Amino acid sequence: MSPAAQQRLSQVASHFMPRPTKGVSTLVEKHPDDIVVTCALRTAITKGGKGGFKDTAAADLLAGVLKGIILGSSIDPALVGDIAVGSVLPPGGGATEFRGAALVAGIPETAAVKSLNRQCSSGLQAVVDIANEIKAGVIDVGIGAGVESMSLQYGPGAVTEFSELLDNHMEAANCKVPMGVLSEQMAKDRNIARTDQDQFAASSYQKAVKAQKEGLFNEEIVPLQVKWTDPKTNEEKIITVSADDSIRDGVTPESLSKIRPAFAKDGSIHAGNSSQVSDGAAAVLLMRRSTAERLGQKIIGKYVTASVVGVKPLLMGIGPWKAIPVALEKAGISKEDVDIYEINEAFASQCVWCIKGLGLPFEKINPKGGAIAFGHPLGCTGSRQVSTLLTELKRTDKKIGVTSMCVGTGMGMAAVWVAE
């Protein structure tokens, strides 16, 4: 290019000063290059080892939710460029069976599939990866998904033995301290009272019961027909699973106070104030706003930005506390601007600590309950939060939401969303 042409180009480029990215009004603006969600669905989340999906492979759950996305959005499946699936436990990351699941779901072989694992935030990471691929122009339409069958794949096989090198490095070795043990220690160190934890856990149950009774989950759940073996009769049946089966009615702080601590005799963490072991899948269909408008897709929300941060492995529970302010800063809004926070309830202890640490009002947190009430299928949760959040924002006529979770080995992720 001649020097004159180069200078003319620089001049035009200099006419684009950075937009002020501050404030709600800027955030809710609509631009053709926004990354938008046109469909976000999940399966029911069921009890690990007992619930409706106890005999269903993770890939089958994924195929079911992908089918749901295609039916629900009426997108031409041939337009899907890439599918990212977050999953924590499957050997080999699940890469092979997830590709199979996409084909079963009716997505043609032209769509690529990848699996990824960022522990409990895998589902969110999958959505963020797809959003970034669209932003970078790699693809036009994509699906970010998450799936976990903890019934079939939870166990020691999911983690490789540590080498001597890692074991001899203190901080590295901390990465394999079990979640419950380190959370118990953190609860002790940071004085998170058991009564506060039980209070929070009970309210999670109560909110979920209420939401389920009012049918607030119906819109986001894809019913799946699966085979299920009755443990009493050993008889194989075909059942339709269309509701979360682990939400217990009548849970109160008093009833939780009677449960014995799980990780230490004098501890505060127990089965009733931690996330449940469960099975489930969720998926989010993403594209550019201009693409959505061209295809006539109904836009339900906008992905704004995400953050990922590291914390000490033994303090993994504080992840959201560190990740949320980073995401808000990137989005140019304050914590008060956010209408709903979906913060994963890995343990009541860490969730309560993060909420208090950030100074957030409890009314804005998980208004339909969380993982304590209906379960935390590890890889699924991050994508599941998107459908839970966007439906609730829309129902209550609110705008801005944040999803976040702590991540095993000491990380945190958060993402900012706008409902439309």
Partner 1 sequence: MLHFRTEGFNGSAVKYSPFFDNRLAVAASANFGLVGNGRLYFLELTPNGIVPLKWYTTQDSLYDLAWSEIHENQVLTASGDGSIKLFDCTINEFPVQAWKEHSREVLSVHWNLVAKDRFCSSSWDGTVKIWSAQRKQSLLTLPTYSCTYSAAFSPHNPDILSCVTSDSHVRLFDLRAPDSASGHPAMIPIHGSTSAFVPGTLGSSAKQTIVPPSECLTHDWNKYRPSILATAGVDRTVRTFDIRAPQQGPLSVMPGHDYAIRKLAWSPHRSDLLLTASYDMTCRVWSDRSDMLVKDGDLMRTGPIGPTMGSELGRMGHHTEFVMGVDWCLFGSEGWCASVGWDESLLVWDVRAFVK
CB of 17 vs partner 1, minimal distance in Å: 5
Cβ count within 10 A of residue 287: 30
Binder among 21, 29, 33, 106 for partner 1 (CB under 8 A): 29
Query: Phi, psi (5° rounding) for residue 400?
Result: -110, 130
According to the binding rule CB under 8 A, does residue 4 interact with partner 1? yes
Axis-axis angle for helices 122-135, 381-395 (nearest 10):
80
| Strand ranges, E, within 23-71 | 35-42, 46-47
User: Could you tell me which stretch among 6-14, 84-92, 147-155, 366-374 binds partner 1 (CB under 8 A)?
Assistant: 6-14
User: Could you tell me which stretch among 13-21, 62-70, 176-184, 392-400 binds partner 1 (CB under 8 A)?
Assistant: 13-21
CB of 349 vs partner 1, minimal distance in Å: 43
According to the binding rule CB under 8 A, does residue 238 interact with partner 1? no
According to the binding rule CB under 8 A, does residue 5 interact with partner 1? yes
In whole angstroms, what is the distance from residue 57 CA to residue 107 CA? Answer: 19
In whole angstroms, what is the distance from residue 124 CA to residue 129 CA? Answer: 8
- Is 144 in contact with 130 (CB distance < 8 Å)? yes
Considering the candidates 270, 354, 376, 380, report the single residue annotated as catalytic. 376
Residue closer to partner 1 by CB (options 14, 191) is 14
According to the binding rule CB under 8 A, does residue 1 interact with partner 1? yes
Considering the candidates 39, 120, 351, 354, report the single residue annotated as catalytic. 120
By CB under 8 A, the residues from 31 to 50 that bind partner 1 are: 31
According to the binding rule CB under 8 A, does residue 12 interact with partner 1? yes
HSE on the CB side for 166, CA within 13 Å? 10
- Is 403 in contact with 342 (CB distance < 8 Å)? yes
In whole angstroms, what is the distance from residue 216 CA to residue 322 CA? Answer: 30
User: Could you tell me which stretch among 7-15, 34-42, 143-151, 299-307 binds partner 1 (CB under 8 A)?
Assistant: 7-15
User: Could you tell me which stretch among 12-20, 118-126, 357-365, 378-386 binds partner 1 (CB under 8 A)?
Assistant: 12-20
Query: And the tokens for 316?
Result: 């993994």
CB of 29 vs partner 1, minimal distance in Å: 8
CB of 420 vs partner 1, minimal distance in Å: 18
Bridge partners (DSSP) listed for residue 282: 42, 146
According to the binding rule CB under 8 A, does residue 227 interact with partner 1? no
- Is 179 in contact with 320 (CB distance < 8 Å)? no
Residue closer to partner 1 by CB (options 5, 238) is 5
CB of 181 vs partner 1, minimal distance in Å: 51
According to the binding rule CB under 8 A, does residue 2 interact with partner 1? yes
According to the binding rule CB under 8 A, does residue 170 interact with partner 1? no
DSSP class of 159: S
Q: Is 164 exposed, middle or buried (0-12, 13-18, 19+ CB in 10 A)?
A: exposed
By CB under 8 A, the residues from 50 to 89 that bind partner 1 are: none
Residue closer to partner 1 by CB (options 17, 238) is 17
Residue closer to partner 1 by CB (options 15, 232) is 15
- Is 417 in contact with 403 (CB distance < 8 Å)? yes
Residue closer to partner 1 by CB (options 23, 231) is 23
Distances, alpha carbon 191 to alpha carbons 197, 199, 214, 258, in Å: 11, 15, 36, 20
In whole angstroms, what is the distance from residue 243 CA to residue 256 CA? Answer: 24
- Is 54 in contact with 228 (CB distance < 8 Å)? yes
Report the SS3 class of residue 381: helix
Query: Phi, psi (5° rounding) for residue 184?
Result: -60, -45
User: Could you tell me which stretch among 16-24, 145-153, 345-353, 407-415 binds partner 1 (CB under 8 A)?
Assistant: 16-24
According to the binding rule CB under 8 A, does residue 233 interact with partner 1? no
* Residue 76 amino acid letter: D
According to the binding rule CB under 8 A, does residue 9 interact with partner 1? yes
406 is catalytic: yes
According to the binding rule CB under 8 A, does residue 22 interact with partner 1? no
User: Could you tell me which stretch among 3-11, 183-191, 231-239, 382-390 binds partner 1 (CB under 8 A)?
Assistant: 3-11
Place of tokens 């609860």: 187
Residue closer to partner 1 by CB (options 32, 91) is 32
Active site positions, annotated:
120, 376, 406
Binding site for partner 1 (CB under 8 A): 1-2, 4-5, 8-9, 11-12, 14-17, 19, 29, 31
